[in-house]
Amino acid sequence: MQIAASKVVSLHYTLRGEDGDLIDQATPDEPFAYIHGTGSIIPGLEKALEGKSAGDKLTVSVAPEDGYGVRDDEQVQVAPRSAFHGVDHIEPGMQFQAQTEYGMQLVTVVAVENDEVVLDGNHPLAGQTLNFEVEVAHIRDATEEELDHGHVHGEGGHHH
C-alpha cells in the first residue's frame, strides 16, 4: 500500500534544525501517526511522503516556505506588562495564548523591558530549514470515524 489521501501513516523520524540540533523525534516505541492529505503535517514533508510505502526510508529537507513559514517581523509586537493579569513573573521563552483578529494565537516572550513585554507570534520554527530522517513504518486505510474526527485513533494517535 502506498501513502495517499485518507491513509493513516505511522512514521519513525528524527527532525533536526539548520544547525544540526535535534528538535523532535518519533521512535519505534512511540511512532507518529497522521491522516495523509488532511494538512496534519507540514506541506513539504507531506509532499515528500506521497506515494511512499511501508519500509521506505528517506531524507527530506523542508524549506521554510513549505514548513512553518518564513519569519514575519510584523508578528513581533510589544505589549504592556499590565496586559498579563495574574502573572507575576514573565521571562523570555514563556508562551501565552493571545486573542488576535484571526483568533487565538500562540505567542512567545522574547524580551521583558521594564513595563513592556516583547512578543513573537511566529511559530518557533518559522524561517528554519527542517531536516528529516524518516522511515515509513505502517500504512492503512483511515476509518470513517477517524476521517470524521480528523485524527488517528489508537497507536501513535489520539485515544478517546
List, run by run, the mean pLDDT of 10-residue segments along the chain (160 residues): 97 96 95 95 97 98 97 94 91 90 89 94 94 98 94 67
Which DSSP letter does residue 2 get?
B
Which residue reads 483568533 in cell numbers?
Answer: 103
Domain limits, the chain:
7-68+126-149, 73-120
What integer pLDDT is reported at residue 155 of this predicted model? 61
What is residue 158's predicted lDDT score, i.e. its pLDDT?
54
pTM (two decimals)? 0.82
Per-residue CA distances from 56 to 20, 67, 102, 158 (Å): 23, 22, 39, 24
d(CA 91, CA 84): 12
The pLDDT value recorded for residue 99 is 81
Name the CATH architecture for the domain at 7-68+126-149: Roll (3.10)
CATH class of 73-120: mainly beta
pLDDT attached to residue 107: 94
The DSSP-derived string for 8-26 is EEEEEEEEE-TT--EEEEE
**73-120 has the same fold as 7-68+126-149:** no
